[in-house]
Amino acid sequence: MPDNPDKPPGPLAGVTVLDLTTMLAGPYATLLLAGLGARVIKIENPNSPDPARGNSLFLGRDGVSATPEHDDDLSLAILDRGRNKEAVTLNLKHPEAHAIFMDLVRRADVVVENFSPGVTGRLGIDYARCREVNPKIVYTSISGFGPDADPTRNKAVDIVIQAMSGLMMASGAEGEPPVRVGIPIGDQAAPLFATIGTLAAVLRARATGQGQQVDVSLLGTMSALVAAEPFEMERRLGHATRSGNVLARLAPSGVFPTADGHIAISAPKDVFAAGLFRAMGRPELIQDERFSSRAARVRNHAVLHEMVGAWTGAMDAGAAAALLTECGVPNGPVRDPADAVRDPGLLARGETARLEHPVYGAVEDVVAGGLPIRMSDAFTGFDRPAVTLGASNGDVYRGLLGYGQDELERLAREGVI
Amino acid sequence: MPDNPDKPPGPLAGVTVLDLTTMLAGPYATLLLAGLGARVIKIENPNSPDPARGNSLFLGRDGVSATPEHDDDLSLAILDRGRNKEAVTLNLKHPEAHAIFMDLVRRADVVVENFSPGVTGRLGIDYARCREVNPKIVYTSISGFGPDADPTRNKAVDIVIQAMSGLMMASGAEGEPPVRVGIPIGDQAAPLFATIGTLAAVLRARATGQGQQVDVSLLGTMSALVAAEPFEMERRLGHATRSGNVLARLAPSGVFPTADGHIAISAPKDVFAAGLFRAMGRPELIQDERFSSRAARVRNHAVLHEMVGAWTGAMDAGAAAALLTECGVPNGPVRDPADAVRDPGLLARGETARLEHPVYGAVEDVVAGGLPIRMSDAFTGFDRPAVTLGASNGDVYRGLLGYGQDELERLAREGVI
């Protein structure tokens, strides 16, 4: 890949990743590896490419649309998760494909896959086979419920993972229906842990010459995050486990309405509570025995939160925030997601980023996640747009594997690639 | 550290981490490094240790309580985030502490800190100083809003990050108040990205002999995840951005009430929709022009979801799940978090784990997150309980740094450690 002479290499420069993943969870893991500088080669079946290429919405020369309007429109999903990746076609079901895949494995450091259990074995590309040709290979498998799950157990999709992990019953208030979180977090936890595991295994492989399989499940990773809260123990001690927008045990803490929206305030410690009472113009409340200690504030959380809400409700969020900040009280406005991700500070730090069409550029104001990791002496981030299906066949099959042009054309004619 | 002869080393065996972090976000990152086999040395000021040691709830010989009841009770927070870590005391404000810290830096691979902006500089332990004594050091800084944020900008706590990232306005339905997610996700995204960045930088340092600073912010990482959904574009095309518990664009998909709870169903594709109609005993709906294509189902999502909810509402979740699974429809029960994290499959895979008191063991059924990454040829997970403040002073100051016992006692007397 051409290096940009103005940027230092990424931290994973020199690491080659074969990306067999599709949809969201798998491709997000390989997207992070790409943004950290790895060479990520996305491998797709020419007859059935990554379904994300066909998911609404689409971006093309005339902007965003619900359905593709031109041949060169690309889905926002692939424009997001295809950044900084090369894309080749390979029909793994074709008898000739196996040798080609193993040619790639020989030159790679990492394989990432999220096939249903059993598929890699049937295709002859499972970890055991890959390890034979390259003992250092790190083979990362992202599954719904682990490799030994009942094969009739259904696909793990975000909403199912949110439901089964307990996440939906952690939000909202007692007696309310479950709450679906409006971002695909059930698909996002697994790729983060998969990336961590992959990098740890690559470190180990470099030290020992021996790779391994890394196994991460969607349900397991989401549940590990849910388990951060000791729900059963809270219930055992009579505390609400679903407390809506306020946090009794950290009173005064919660989300409160303002004249023009809402504001989040967190003031559990004495010094913060005192600051809050000053901001409210009620310094006498600092010594009020209902609120003068942390335990007292927790006991009287209901009336305390009512008073805070009455105060915030009478002014705009900006005015409340200014007073609170002046008094040293942790606070922040509730922002709409479309506005939040366009925060100029986030864009400047590459934590969010504008998406570009490979031909037409930033033809619409589409903002996606950036790579929210900055390094002092390495480039991190996305600087190459997604490419179309098979666009890198030449670079990879000729450039990396050394196949001749005639061979490439034959393979294409015969449906191998 | 004594190796367990029955287990292969972890993938990060040989990596030494100096952990200056406190509270949740920082310690969760170093917890993951510890569970992957790194030697993590938690460094606390003896006069003001990690506040997590004082956070309700507590576990001791008589079980869980809201306040500590015995001298050797430990907080659930430290029992969780202190696993597999050593703990030493060091008063970084004492003039003699600087040389001791640099002694540690010389022998370490990683430093992780989450101080407020400016603190490490004032203490003389910032990246520039550490790099002088150890050019390979990877120095990971976790902040609320980045190192250049306005220092008067308030502490980033979970609820503030959820508010400002747009997450709260992604859940719930149009016109409803913001929704606080009931797990501290605003504190959990940053440590995952920090761990990724740390490992990538360690890989790079091993290749080049040069370390670097890794910079991750709570707001940036949470916003990067929120930005996975193209909210602005959805709104531009007239789609609801807050759709509550159903997903019109993937109809039929959502959370539906059952006689005894709720069930999540996701059946956007023709084959899944057909399976759902069969499970409902309504095969004629497959050809019903209101539902016979994906576009039609999206158009008629309201009546479709009403029909699905009427069907699920008449039976228990288990019965609905059995019928749906038999017909190949992705589904899963909505589980309560206390039950979800105790799923025997998760515990068996170490994705969730029982917490143990270092002296009294698993004296109560407390379940926390495990390390949800399994490897074929390395041990991953938590096999050592948290320790008390300064418990590792001997192992580290004598064992690692080679200080004599008299010196150790002097340092303690003079409040250096």
SS3 letters for B19-60?
A: ECCCCCHHHHHHHHHHHCCCEEEEEEECCECCHHHHCCCEEE
* Portion of chain A with pLDDT greater than 70, in percent: 99
Q: In chain A, what percentage of residues exceed pLDDT 90?
A: 88
CA distances for B388 relative to B46, B94, B127, B170, B395, angstroms: 11, 22, 28, 41, 14
Q: Which of A6, A158, A187, A316 is catalytic?
A: A187
In angstroms, the separation between the Cα of residue B334 and the nearest Cα of chain A is 4
Q: Is the pLDDT of residue A213 over 70?
A: yes
Q: From the CA atom positions of chain B, what is the Rg in Å?
A: 26
Over residues A388-412, the pLDDT tens digits come to: 999 999 999 999 999 999 999 999 9
| Structure confidence by residue, pLDDT tens digits, A359-383 | 999 999 999 999 999 999 999 999 9
Under an 8 A CB cutoff, do A372 and B236 touch? no
Instruction: Using the structure block, give the residue that is written with the tokens 């600092």.
Output: A286
CATH number of B248-334: 3.30.1540.10
Nearest chain A residue to B194, by CA: A373
pLDDT (average), residues A292-296: 92
- Specify the DSSP element, H or E, that contains A402: none
- pLDDT classification of A1: cutoffs 50, 70, 90: very low
A146:B180 CB<8 A: no
Estimate the crossing angle of helix B185-208 against helix B25-35, to 10 degrees. 50
The distance of A310 to chain B (nearest Cα, Å) reads 16
CA-to-CA separations, B95 to A228, B305, B344, in angstroms, rounded: 37, 67, 51
Q: What single-letter DSSP state applies at residue A162?
A: H
- Residues A98-141: pLDDT tens digits? 999 999 999 999 999 999 888 999 999 999 999 999 999 999 99
Check residue B114 and give its pLDDT: 96
- Residue to test with chain A: of B223, B249, B326, most A Cβ within 10 A: B223
Q: For chain A, what percentages of helix, strand and coil (3-state, to nearest 5) are there?
A: 40, 15, 45
Using CA coordinates, name the residue in chain B closest to A165: B340
Tell me how close the Cα of B155 comes to any Cα of chain A, in angstroms: 5
Question: What pLDDT digit, counting tens, does each position of A216-268 carry?
Answer: 999 999 999 999 998 888 888 888 889 899 998 899 999 999 999 999 999 99
The pTM of this model reads: 0.96
Q: Which of A168, A193, A352 sits opposite B224 (nearest CB)?
A: A352
pLDDT at A13: 97
Reading phi first (left if > 0) and then psi (alpha if -120 to 50, else beta), residue A334 is in beta
In chain B, residues with a C-beta closer than 8 Å to the C-beta of A83 are none
Chain Cα centroid distance, residue B109: 22
* Residue among A1, A39, A5, A7 nearest A379 (CA): A7
Question: In the numeric block, which tokens belong to residue B145?
Answer: 């809003």
List the alpha helices (DSSP H) in B227-300: 231-236, 270-279, 294-299
Verify whether the Cβ–Cβ distance B57 to A230 is below 8 Å: yes
Angle between helices A185-208 and A25-35 (to 10 degrees): 50
CATH 3.40.50.10540 residue ranges of chain B are 16-225+343-413
Mean pLDDT, residues A142-159 taken together: 86
Which ipTM score applies to this complex? 0.96
> Is A227 in contact with B378 (Cβ distance < 8 A)?
no
For residue A155, the model assigns a pLDDT of 80
Structure tokens at A30: 């390989």
Considering chain A, what is the average pLDDT of its residues? Answer: 94
Listing from the earlier edge strand, what are the strands of the sheet with A74-75?
A63-65, A58-60, A74-75
| Closest approach of A411 to chain B, Cα-based (Å) | 32
Lowest mean pLDDT among A149-158, A297-306, A323-332: A149-158
Nearest chain A Cα distance for residue B278, angstroms: 16
pLDDT of A117 reads 87
| Residue owning tokens 């030159």 | A107
What distance in Å separates the CA atoms of residue B209 and residue B191, rounded to the nearest whole number?
A: 25
Residues in B closer than 8 angstroms to A255, CB to CB, are 159, 163, 168, 177-178, 180
Sheet with strand B253-258: strands edge to edge: B253-258, B261-266, B331-333
CB contact under 8 A, A374 and B201: no
Is the Cβ pair A325, B241 closer than 8 Å?
no
Tell whether omega for the bond before A57 is within 30 degrees of 0, i.e. cis: yes
Nearest to A372 by CA among B218, B181, B169: B218
Active site residues of B: 187
The pLDDT averaged over each successive group of 10 residues in chain B (417 residues) is 70 98 97 98 97 92 92 95 98 97 98 94 97 98 92 83 96 93 96 98 97 97 95 84 89 96 96 97 96 92 96 97 94 94 95 95 94 95 96 97 97 96
CB contact under 8 A, B351 and A377: no
- In this structure, the number of other CB atoms found within 10 A of the CB of residue B409 comes to 11
CA distances from B399 to B12, B394, B405 (A): 20, 7, 10
pLDDT attached to residue B260: 96
Q: Tell me how far apart the alpha carbons of residues A361 and A354 are, in angstroms, rounded to a whole number.
A: 10
Q: Is pLDDT of A188 > 80?
A: yes
In which band, very low, low, confident or very high, does the pLDDT at A5 lie, cut at 50, 70 and 90? low
Query: How many contacts (CB atoms, under 8 Å) link A and B?
Result: 483
Q: Which residues of B37-66 are buried (b: 16+ CB within 10 A; e: fewer)?
A: bbbbbbbbbbeebbebbebbbbbbeebbbb
Report the pLDDT averaged over residues A276-280: 97
Reported as a pLDDT band with limits 50, 70 and 90, residue A4 is: low
Q: Could you tell me the CATH superfamily of domain B16-225+343-413?
A: Crotonobetainyl-coa:carnitine coa-transferase; domain 1 (3.40.50.10540)
Pick from B146, B236, B374: CB nearest A349 = B146
The answer to whether A386 and A359 have CB atoms below 8 angstroms apart is no
For residue B23, how many other CB atoms are within 10 A of its CB?
17
The burial class, CB within 10 Å (0-12 / 13-18 / 19+), for A347 is middle
Comma-separated ranges of CATH 3.30.1540.10 domains in chain A: 248-334
Side chain identity at residue A206, one-letter code: R
